[in-house]
Each structure stands twice: as structure tokens, then as C-alpha cells.
Chains A and B, each alone.
Chain A
Amino acid sequence: MFSIIFDHVAYSYGNRDVLDDFSFCFTAGKITCLLGPSGSGKTTVLRLIAGFEIPQQGVIKIEEGVVSQPDTIIVPPHKREVGFIFQDLALWPHFTVYENIAFGLNERKMPHNKNIITDMLDVFGISDHLKKYPHQLSGGQKQMVAIARSLVLKPKILLMDEPLANIDIEVKNNIIIHLKQLRQENPFTVLYVTHDHNEAVDIGDEIVVLKLGKVIESGNSEQIRQSGRLFLR
């Protein structure tokens, strides 16, 4: 299980400062929900951890090792042992469900067979759809494939960028149950971006509230609930 440290990180898109002197330590093995309004920097935090963006100032450490420093990526995305569930899921449309999941295993040259993939899909109850293409799946099924695709690579950190937005509550609960079950078997750190307060309280061991690139509140669900500030606005 890996902890993630942001040490005085600054990041801007053009003239707009997204993160300014941002420092925080995301605890290993916990589900941390990043909560905040649009433009508060939630997705940028995830993208910096994944190595898709480079900080302009400060350093980012994963498990004590510096992975990014100003204008330099030290550890490339595929060597950070992170999984990323994109907001648009980013399932490769020209690959079947099986190929989507096998792709990463092949690229990383991880030993695998069909059983590993079907077992993973079994957890989410979608192993019957191996030969289907993403456009032939329902919204919930696509979401499960995206999560399975990340988890099959056994990441130490799972970054989730509003992955459960726009799906019905039953499917959402189902996915959360599966995710928690998988974490019990193979613990990993989760950073979960959402703008839904209730979802954050339900899922998160810890909640971090961002506004204009700064942490304005953090703690466990109970502490956040008791502070009341967040929910009154």
C-alpha cells in the first residue's frame, strides 16, 4: 500500500492557477474522497499522481520516492503502479472486453491466461460479455469493465475520476460493494474524485475538500459531517 505526498505543488493551465502551494499526504490503504466544486483542482491532483501532468513547482512522492519534480517526470505513468478510472472510462472502442483487459497484461508482459480475466470479470458479474465491444455494453457494464481493466494489473493506487457519475443507484451500490470486496482481498490506496457529498461520506474513509486549488477541510466522514461547514453551503 502506497501513500502519496504532495509537497508545495503548484500547477497552472495557461494563466489559470489550478493548484497553488498544495501540500497534502494521502494515507496509504485508505479510500480518500476528493470533494469540491468544478475547477477546484480535484482531477488535476489525480492526473499529477498518474504522471499525465508535470508540476511547475514542488515535488510529488509515492511511497517516499519522488515521482515528479518541477518540469520533470521522474517515474513514467506505467511504472507508478497506479490504476486510473477515467471520467469517460476510456475503454478502447476497437478492442473487445477481453482485449481491453488483456491489453495491459500484454504490454507489461505480466503472465496471464484467460482464467485471470474471466475471474476478474466474474467478480463484477460480466464474464458473459468477453467478446462484446464497449458500444455493445450498458453504462454500468462499461463502468465495471473499466474498473476490472485497472484492477487486473494489481495497482497499489487506484485513481477514480467521478467514475460512477450518471449511473443508477443500484448499479453504483453494486460496484462499490465489489470494490470494497476486492480491497479486502488485495488492499490498495484509493483516491476517489466526486462532487457528490453523500457519495463521499458513504465511500470515503477520509474526505478532503478542495476549493480553488487549496485544501479547506479534511478528516474522516464523521469529522467532516460534524464540522457542518461543507454541507451548510
Chain B
Amino acid sequence: MVREIKDFIIKYLLALVLTVLLIVPVLATLFSWLLKAGETGAFTYLNKEAFLLIAKSMLVSSLVALFATAIGTACGFILHKIRIKGSGIYSILLLIPLLVSPYIFAVAWKDIWVILMGNASPVNSFAGVIMVHTLIYFPLAILITGNALANIHSGIEDAGLLVTSFRRMVFRILLPLIRPVISTSYILILIFSLSDFSVPAFFGVRTFTVELFTQFSAFYNHDAAIAQALLLVFLCLVLILSESRYLSSAPFFAVDVKGNLSRTYSLSKNAFIVHLIFLLLIVIAVVMPVCMLLIQSLSGKQNEFLHAFQLLKPAVFQSLKMALSGAVIITLIGLLAAHLQERNHSSMSNWILLGTFILPSTVLGIAFIKFYNQPATAIIYATMLIVLIGYLGKFGFIISRIMGNGFKQLPRSLEEAAAIAGSNSFRRFFKILLPLLFPSLFTGFVLAFVLCLGELGISIMVYPPGTELMPVKIFTISANASQSLTSSMTLISFSVTIFFLVLFYIGGKVLFKKYRYV
């Protein structure tokens, strides 16, 4: 009986905590709105205009998903199947747009337009959102399709090459094999683009998420905001349903210690063109935005940069503190959720984290404000805890999957051998599993840290008064500040992120050497 209770607690305690913290606020907000909607006439907010706006947002996001998946799949193929010099460097550099907060690129692209074309109005449009989102999200498609291509058994390709040409083998065998993965990439990018608030907000473009934020924060029309949130939640759930099985295991969020086991090909001709394309892509996606941020920052008054630094200084330290706390919490909970899924066959926590991962940040933000704004939960609402819970809801799934895929790479026999040798489950976890999981643990922590550092969607809605976070500060100041001041602040934020990424990369290289046996 005691053992059964212990097993029950181990299996369901985390799921229960996550349900209370993350799912109950969303459901409570939506249900309380639904119950009152008849009396308050809130259903009227689900009108033709709302549906037209969501259709427009869907169209924009569909185009983003299409372009980003096409570019990402092509890059993923070249980086994982073709032997080219510097592919490692290309992979790392191309990941930067995905790791850095989207608003940084929105500001940078505004600068590019101002500097090169004289004004930013062409980029302050749906076309601008499509372009910037495509450049931000195509690395996700590289990650997803590249992982699938690297795991195709070489024998499958060899058998194809015996009967047909390389080109036909690629189009008839390889691409059809990764078709489900390509569709996952498409859906995921579609949801990310649809949910993103920062890029359209910085461009002043009215998308559904921006409208939702405006209704809630500017007009205090909570009924309208929740009505629209309901529509967005429904849309995201429908989109995700077709891919839920594949997404719940998310094999692409992994630190692959086995390396590329599939076949790679040498490029006898056209190597120059491939390098040229990659360099061009890196210039457009990374170098040019950063350079333009720098130029714009220096173009203002002499002390603009110093002014930006002074404005941002308290926010930098608070953001670092929050990112660190968030990363620790998310890593620990991700580790627990992954352990439960991979070793205890309990996937409830993982599904909860997937559920909040796909919810747009603005929707989560609204739900948290409505639910936690009670005397009993003041300790959460009035403190940074609410931001940390938001980080957990937004990024917990990614980190949990990185850990989960780390567990998958460790044969159970390693733990069984330790059990036979006399280790109890506690010692097995700390002496065998944890050291072997180190690469996944470290990568998960770094990723969580960087993602928390740049998070804007939830932070802007829930941050308690008296606190300052980098992305929120830049966003709020940008409305009335000069472009050069905004750019200076954005450049500082970008530099802080890159500084920590480089620091962790160097630290990781040293630490990973110690774990080279894996």
C-alpha cells in the first residue's frame, strides 16, 4: 500500500502541480468567460471583423511557414547530407536568429530599411512581418529536417543509389521519407508565427495577437480579449492535433551524442555556389541586422548609447537574475518530466507542457492575470513568480524534450547493471544517469536561459509593477523614443545574449571534453 502511494505520488505529483500552475488558469479564464458570455453579450466580439483578422493573420503565418520550411529544408539537406567545409560554423551561425528574441530582429530590420531606403514604412507592413518571421524561423526547419535526415539509415540510400541517380534518389526516397517531419516543421512555424506578438507589434502591424494585446492592455476590454483568445486557442489546438503524436516526442529537440550516422555525399562541383548561398544567408539573417543596429545606434546624438545603457542597466541585471532563476526551474522540472515520461511511462507532465507551449504568449498572459489576481494568490501575482510560471509554460516543453531525448539515448541496461551491482534508485540517478545526461542537461539549461532572457510576449503582460525586464523596457520605451535610442538598447540586449551564448559555448566545449566518452 505504502509503495503504491509512493508510486502514485512520483507519477502524478508533478502533473498535478503543473496542472494547477499552468492549465487551471487557462481553463478557469475560458470557462468563466463562457459562463458569463450569454449575459454580457461577449459572443458579439466573435464577429466578422475578428474572423477576417484571424484569416489575415493565418495567411501571413502560412506564407511564413511555407518560405521558412522551404529554405530550412534545403539548408538542412546541405548541412546534414553534403560534406562541405565549415558546415559546423554555418549551423551555429544560422541558429542565432532562433535563439535571439524576435523583437531584436524587428528593430534591426527597421534600421536596415531606414538606412538603406530612407524610411521604414515598407517594412511596417504584413510583408515586413513575413520577411522577418521567415528569417527568424527557418533555422527551426533546419533543426527539424536536419535531425530527420541525419537519422536515415545509410542502407536505404545505398539501395536507392543502386537503381537510380542521386537526384531521383533524393526526390523519390529521401524527401518522401521525411515528409511527415516537413509537415511538422510547417505546422510548428505556422503556430510560432501566429503566436508571436513582438515583431508585428514593433512594426505596428495589426495581427490577431497584437489586437488581443491591445484589447486587453490598452482598452481594458477583457471580454473581447478573451473571446479572441478563445478563437486563437481553438485554432492552435486544431493545428497541433494532426501532429500531436510526433510533436509530443519532438526528436528534433535533442543533443545527439551519436553524431550523424547516415550517409553523406561530397560535392565535386558547385561547392563555391553552396558556400556563396550560405554566406549570403548568414549576411542577410545575422550580419546585416547586427551591423545596421550598430550603425543606427551610433547615428544618434553623441551620448545616445550611454543613455541607452543607463536606461537599460537595472533591467539587464534583473533580466539576468530572472533568466537564471527561470533556467534553473525549467531545467529541473524538464528533467523530472522527462524522467517520468522515459522511465516511468507517465507522460501527463509532458502533455501539459506541450499544451502550454503551443498556446500564444498573450493568451497565457491573459489567463495568468485573470486567475492569479486574487488575494489568495497575491504571492504569485504581485511578485516575479508569475513571470517564472510564464517562462515554465512557454519553454518547459522544449527543455523537457531535450532531456527526454537524452534519456532515450541511454540504454536501460546501464541502470539495470547498476541495480544488480547494488545501487538504489537514488544512487543510480545521481551516479549513472545524471553524469551521462550532462550534455542534454547543460544544453537545456543554456537554451532555457537564452529563451527566458529574450521573452517578451508573457513578460509584457504579467510583469509586476516596479520590476524591469530588458525586452519589456525596450518595447515600452520604443513607442516614444528615437529610433537610434531603441536601436542602442536593442544592440545592448543582443550583445548581452550573444555574450552569454559565447560564454556558455566556451564553457560547454571544456565541459563536453570531459564527457567525450558518451
| B-binding residues in A (CB < 8 A) | 50, 52, 76-78, 82-84, 86-88, 90, 92-94, 103-104, 107-108, 133-135, 149-150, 153
B514 nearest in chain A by CB position: A94
CB pair A104–B411 under 8 Å, yes or no, is: no
Query: Which single member of B421, B517, B518 contacts A107 (CB below 8 Å)?
Result: B421
Known: A94-B515, A134-B517. A50 touches B423 (CB 8 A): no
Neighbouring B residues of A134 by C-beta, 8 Å = 517
Q: Say yes or no: is B153 at the interface (Cβ < 8 Å to chain A).
A: no
Given A50-B420, A88-B411, A88-B413, 8 new contacts (CB under 8 A): A78-B421, A84-B420, A87-B413, A92-B432, A93-B517, A103-B421, A133-B517, A149-B417
Give, as a whole number of angstroms, the nearest-CB distance from B441 to chain A.
13
Task: Report the separation of the CA atoms of residues A88 and B410 in the bound assembly, to the nearest whole angstrom.
Answer: 12
Known: A92-B432, A93-B517, A133-B517. A104 touches B416 (CB 8 A): no
Give, as a whole number of angstroms, the nearest-CB distance from A44 to chain B.
14
Neighbouring A residues of B432 by C-beta, 8 Å = 92
Give, as a whole number of angstroms, the nearest-CB distance from B170 to chain A.
33
Task: Report the separation of the CA atoms of residues A21 and B297 in the bound assembly, to the nearest whole angstrom.
Answer: 79
Neighbouring A residues of B416 by C-beta, 8 Å = 50, 52, 77, 84, 86, 90
Q: Say yes or no: is B55 at the interface (Cβ < 8 Å to chain A).
A: no
Give, as a whole number of angstroms, the nearest-CB distance from A126 to chain B.
18
A108 nearest in chain B by CB position: B422
Give, as a whole number of angstroms, the nearest-CB distance from B478 to chain A.
48
Q: Say yes or no: is B239 at the interface (Cβ < 8 Å to chain A).
A: no
- Choose among B422, B432, B518 the residue with the greatest number of A CB atoms under 10 Å from its CB: B422
CB pair B420–A135 under 8 Å, yes or no, is: no
Query: Which single member of A52, A87, A94 contacts B435 (CB below 8 Å)?
Result: A94
Task: Report the separation of the CA atoms of residues A127 and B432 in the bound assembly, to the nearest whole angstrom.
Answer: 24
Interface membership of chain B positions 431-450, coded 1 if the CB is closer than 8 angstroms to chain A and 0 otherwise: 11001100000000000000
Task: Report the separation of the CA atoms of residues A5 and B427 in the bound assembly, to the nearest whole angstrom.
Answer: 31
Known: A133-B517, A134-B517, A135-B517. A90 touches B413 (CB 8 A): yes
CB pair A92–B418 under 8 Å, yes or no, is: yes
Neighbouring A residues of B261 by C-beta, 8 Å = none
Task: Report the separation of the CA atoms of residues A103 and B432 in the bound assembly, to the nearest whole angstrom.
Answer: 11
Using a CB-CB cutoff of 8 Å, which residues 311-343 of chain B contact chain A?
A: none
CB pair A104–B421 under 8 Å, yes or no, is: yes
Query: Which single member of B417, B422, B436, B518 contacts A86 (CB below 8 Å)?
Result: B417
Q: Say yes or no: is B479 at the interface (Cβ < 8 Å to chain A).
A: no
Give, as a whole number of angstroms, the nearest-CB distance from B408 to chain A.
15
Q: Say yes or no: is B414 at the interface (Cβ < 8 Å to chain A).
A: yes
CB pair B421–A93 under 8 Å, yes or no, is: no
Neighbouring B residues of A76 by C-beta, 8 Å = 419
Neighbouring B residues of A108 by C-beta, 8 Å = 421-422
Known: A86-B413, A88-B413. A94 touches B418 (CB 8 A): no
- Choose among B417, B423, B427, B435 the residue with the greatest number of A CB atoms under 10 Å from its CB: B417
Number of A-B contacts (CB under 8 A): 63
Query: Which single member of A84, A133, A135 contacts B417 (CB below 8 Å)?
Result: A84
Task: Report the separation of the CA atoms of residues A149 and B418 in the bound assembly, to the nearest whole angstrom.
Answer: 11
29 A-B pairs within 8 Å (CB atoms) are namely A77-B416, A77-B420, A78-B420, A78-B421, A83-B420, A84-B416, A84-B417, A84-B420, A86-B413, A86-B416, A86-B417, A87-B413, A90-B414, A90-B417, A92-B417, A92-B436, A93-B518, A94-B435, A94-B517, A103-B418, A103-B423, A104-B420, A104-B421, A104-B422, A107-B418, A108-B421, A108-B422, A133-B517, A149-B417
A161 nearest in chain B by CB position: B413
Neighbouring B residues of A107 by C-beta, 8 Å = 418, 421-423, 427
Neighbouring A residues of B414 by C-beta, 8 Å = 90, 92
Interface membership of chain B positions 395-435, coded 1 if the CB is closer than 8 angstroms to chain A and 0 otherwise: 00000000000000001011011111111000100011001
Task: Report the separation of the CA atoms of residues A92 and B428 in the bound assembly, to the nearest whole angstrom.
Answer: 11
Known: A94-B517, A94-B518, A134-B517. A78 touches B417 (CB 8 A): no
CB pair B517–A78 under 8 Å, yes or no, is: no
- Choose among A83, A87, A104, A135 the residue with the greatest number of B CB atoms under 10 Å from its CB: A104
- Choose among A87, A92, A104, A133 the residue with the greatest number of B CB atoms under 10 Å from its CB: A92
Neighbouring A residues of B518 by C-beta, 8 Å = 93-94
Task: Report the separation of the CA atoms of residues A149 and B436 in the bound assembly, to the nearest whole angstrom.
Answer: 19
Neighbouring B residues of A93 by C-beta, 8 Å = 436, 517-518
Give, as a whole number of angstroms, the nearest-CB distance from B163 to chain A.
30
Task: Report the separation of the CA atoms of residues A94 and B436 in the bound assembly, to the nearest whole angstrom.
Answer: 7
Task: Report the separation of the CA atoms of residues A82 and B419 in the bound assembly, to the nearest whole angstrom.
Answer: 11
Neighbouring B residues of A90 by C-beta, 8 Å = 411, 413-414, 416-417
Give, as a whole number of angstroms, the nearest-CB distance from B427 to chain A.
7
A110 nearest in chain B by CB position: B422
Task: Report the separation of the CA atoms of residues A90 and B422 in the bound assembly, to the nearest whole angstrom.
Answer: 15
Task: Report the separation of the CA atoms of residues A78 and B517 in the bound assembly, to the nearest whole angstrom.
Answer: 27
Neighbouring A residues of B423 by C-beta, 8 Å = 78, 103, 107
Neighbouring B residues of A52 by C-beta, 8 Å = 416, 419
Task: Report the separation of the CA atoms of residues A153 and B419 in the bound assembly, to the nearest whole angstrom.
Answer: 13
Neighbouring A residues of B421 by C-beta, 8 Å = 78, 103-104, 107-108, 149, 153
Task: Report the separation of the CA atoms of residues A48 and B420 in the bound assembly, to the nearest whole angstrom.
Answer: 13
B435 nearest in chain A by CB position: A94
CB pair B417–A82 under 8 Å, yes or no, is: no
Neighbouring A residues of B436 by C-beta, 8 Å = 92-94
Task: Report the separation of the CA atoms of residues A133 and B436 in the bound assembly, to the nearest whole angstrom.
Answer: 14
Task: Report the separation of the CA atoms of residues A80 and B413 in the bound assembly, to the nearest whole angstrom.
Answer: 17
Give, as a whole number of angstroms, the nearest-CB distance from B4 to chain A.
11
Pairs A-B, 3 closest by C-beta atoms: A104-B421, A90-B413, A107-B422
Known: A86-B413, A92-B414, A94-B515. A78 touches B435 (CB 8 A): no
Neighbouring A residues of B420 by C-beta, 8 Å = 50, 77-78, 82-84, 104, 150
A159 nearest in chain B by CB position: B420
- Choose among B413, B421, B515, B518 the residue with the greatest number of A CB atoms under 10 Å from its CB: B421
Neighbouring B residues of A104 by C-beta, 8 Å = 420-422
Interface membership of chain B positions 222-237, coded 1 if the CB is closer than 8 angstroms to chain A and 0 otherwise: 0000000000000000
Task: Report the separation of the CA atoms of residues A155 and B416 in the bound assembly, to the nearest whole angstrom.
Answer: 16
A93 nearest in chain B by CB position: B517
Using a CB-CB cutoff of 8 Å, which residues 465-518 of chain B contact chain A?
A: 515, 517-518
